[in-house]
Structure 1
Amino acid sequence: MPRKEGQKRKLLVLLQILARETDERHPLSVPQIVEKLKEKGIEAERKSVYDDLNTLNEMPDFPYEIMQKRGRGGGYYMTDAPFELAELKLLVDAVYASKFITARKSKVLIDKLGQFTSCYRQEELNRKVLVSGRLKSTDEKILYTVDALHAAITAGEQVQFKYCDWNLQKKMTPRHDGQLYRVSPWVLVWENANYYLIAYTEGRLKHYRVDKMQAVHQLPGTTREGTGEYANFDVNAYMQQMFGMFNGPLKKVTLQCENRFAGAMIDRFGTGPTLVPCDDGEHFTMMAEVQVSPQFFGWVAGFGTGVVVAGPPEVRAEMKKTLDRLQDLYR
């Protein structure tokens, strides 16, 4: 009997049909599967399709299961996909919310994520997460910048780049007349929907916003510096100490807070600091290491009278001075 066309790829095409065109709500009967195989240039008999379905289920390394739904409107469908739908929605939300991913690249990535579930479920991924005031990047080169930085970190080599700022014409212009920065990259962190590089340079660890880095080049043959400093470096503590990723002198600051702000303090500083109830029963105090900056004072002021800098005296005095300056501006 002559061999029918497309038999070598029939099993693979059958798997693709099950993955993309079936789920528990949309099973396919064997006649429907035969017709879909035919549409893809593969002639198949019903018996051979039953055999192929059994073959897939009996494969020891096959990570999914093909189930049969009996009764009217029944058929076969694939139970598990590489990602659960909830997992894909979480990834899609992260892509939508990320400032550094352009709108065009966001659509490309979400379309690719949609290939990991059925076409019916993919429709549920076509939703937008609204993030107030969030502007998407217009520069797709940041993806390649992140890749170059990861490669340098993995290789243990230094990088060089130009570091930029926005000007009044809404264009990125290099700092210091285009001077090249040369640093030893250690880790990338994601904070406030932006990527930051923490690197060793000038005898200490500093951070740089990745979307402001241009012309990033890995320097083959160089050796990354700052091993000792990074070995004693706590990334999480570093991120908790800073506000708006602005540096400042590191101080142990005592805050007196209304009880209703306990959650806000835990969200910001984690569960490490001890919340000590005050005698009035309506407030608590806590101590945290903070890089004191105008952004920190602005964060405290955002709670109104609900959060007060109780110490140390020099930080409390600087807070008062900042508020006095603001009051003068609005007289």
Structure 2
Amino acid sequence: MSQIGNAIKMYILLQARGKMKLSEIATALEVDERQVRRYRDHLEQAGIYIDSDRGRFGGYKLQNDNLLLGLNVLEQELYSLQLVERYLADINHIAAKDISILLAKISVLCEKEKDQIDFSNYMSKETISNINLNVEKKKFLDIHAAVLSRNKIKIDYNSLNSGKYTRIVRPYHTLQYKQDLYLIGFCELKKEIRDFKISRIENYEVLDEKFSKDESFDPEKFMENCFGIYKDNEYDVKLKILHPMSQIIKEKIWVKNQVITESDNRSIIFKARMRGLTEIKTWILGMGSNVIVLEPQEIIEEIKNEINKMKNLYMS
């Protein structure tokens, strides 16, 4: 048998038996002990590490006893995957069940079940999408497959502004935002790139017709400086945020270009270039009396108008 074949056979023997003496491995492989040491070196070059215990009960044993050749799954990595599993389950994500199955398989392969951390005292609190998980999962996978294969899709879409309509879309990219899934694609009717919330796609058909890739499309550029999912004019936003809201704002990255400067009385000055007027306004209004919009004037007027509308609702 070749050296590669014998090295793999040596790995399988150690996987099956747990620990073997050097002489036992040599006998099983029908080679001398010096050759067994070479096989050990070959395996370690591939990332499969073998420990050697001295003494009467010593021998060779795998440092990472798992069937995932070369992956060497660490306990910390497994714990992180358990945390992801719990998080996805808590938010009712469409991939939660699949991740749980995958984790169970990895745990068996790595024989790590006894080492699992109890996350029963951990909870994720987020708004959960009100969707049929099985329906949305199939829809998302079909649409994402169309992205990869560059097949056009025909969708019946329920728009908040335009109502129901049918469109032919060239699917470019899929996106997740606040637990909701979106399709980014070129709408052939409107002749522009738009995003479509997948849960609002009532019917869809993956067409046989292909489309050429738009080499100029960059999803990162498309979403650049977007505060949320909305895309419109960009604004150089400047806010004065008072304590305690100032501390909450400092604890997160809202957009990558944000600049936060400490001000008086534990307040901060927040500056950023942002897109998405609807969500910018919602974010600012959510801070209540703890924020003052300094710039731009357009957003100042928008906030004033929104406050007046809210006041009028309670005047009667």
The TM-score with structure 2 as length reference comes to 0.68
Equivalent residues of 1:157, 1:222 under 8 A apart? yes
Give me the whole-angstrom Cα distance separating, in 2, the residues matched to 1:104 and 1:277: 45
Relative to structure 1, the CA distance from residue 278 to residue 58 in structure 2 (aligned partners, 3 Å threshold; closer, same or farther) is closer
Distance 1:117 1:297, change over 3 A: same
Q: Which sections of structure 2, spanning at least 5 residues, go unmatched?
A: 1-7, 65-69
Would the aligned equivalents of 1:100 and 1:142 in 2 still touch at CA under 8 Å?
Answer: no
Measure the CA separation in 2 of the matches of 1:316 and 1:56: 72
* Matches for 1:117-136 after TM superposition, within 5 Å: 117-120=110-113, 123-124=115-116, 127=119, 130-133=123-126, 135=128
Q: Return the offset for 1:319.
A: 0.9
Partner residue in 1 for 2:74? 84
In structure 1, the partner of 2:172 is 186
Q: Which residue of 2 aligns with 1:153?
A: 147
Paired letter, 2:42: M
Change (3 A) 1:124 1:163: farther
Measure how far apart 1:198 and its partner are.
Answer: 1.5
Distance change in 2, residues 1:141/1:64 (3 Å): farther
What is the RMSD of the two structures over their aligned residues, measured on CA atoms? 4.3
Matched AA of 1:160: K
- Give the partner amino acid of 1:322: E
Comparing 180-189 and 80-89, the one that deviates more: 80-89
What code does the residue aligned with 1:14 have? L
Which residue matches 1:234?
221
Deviations 1:52-90 (A, max 9, x none): 975752435643112134579876233374433323333
Query: Does the alignment pair 1:48 with 2:61?
Result: no
Partner of 2:275: 290
Inter-CA distance 133–155: structure 2 relative to 1 (3 Å threshold): closer
What is the distance in 1 between the residues matched to 2:272 and 2:302? 17
How do 1:29-108 residues align onto structure 2 when only pairs under 5 Å count?
29-30=19-20, 47-48=27-28, 57-59=40-42, 62-70=46-54, 76-79=61-64, 81-98=71-88, 99-101=92-94, 104-108=97-101
- Sort the Cα spacing of 1:247 and 1:116 in 2 relative to 1 into closer, same or farther, 3 A: farther
Structure 1 length-normalised TM? 0.66
Task: Give deviations 1:79-117, integer Å, cap 9, x for gaps.
Answer: 374433323333443344334326543432322343452
1:5 alignment partner in structure 2: none
Shift of 1:15: 5.8
Asked if structure 2 preserves the Cα contact closer than 8 Å seen for 1:200 and 1:226, the reply is: no
Unaligned runs of 5+ in 1: 1-8, 19-27, 32-43, 167-174
1:220 aligns with 2:208: yes
Inter-partner Cα distance in structure 1 for 2:238 and 2:201: 36
Q: C-alpha deviations, 1:154-175, integer Å up to 9, x for none?
A: 3333222344699xxxxxxxx6
Q: Matched residues, percent identical? A: 14
> In structure 1, what is the Cα distance between the partners aligned to 2:180 and 2:219?
25
Which string of whole-angstrom CA distances, capped at 9 and with x for unpartnered residues, describes residues 287-331 of structure 1? 4223111x4323223333333222322321221222233344456
Number of residues paired by the alignment?
286
> 2-side partners of 1:13 and 1:126: how far apart?
32
Is the contact made by 1:162 and 1:181 (CA closer than 8 Å) also made in structure 2? yes
User: Residues 151 and 208 of structure 2 are in contact (CA less than 8 Å); yes or no, is this contact kept in structure 1?
Assistant: yes
**Contact preservation (8 Å) 2:171, 2:186:** yes
Does 1 or 2 have the higher relative contact order (CA < 8 Å, sep 6+)? 1
For 1:34, the equivalent position in structure 2 comes to none
Contact 1:256-1:308 at 8 Å conserved across structures: yes
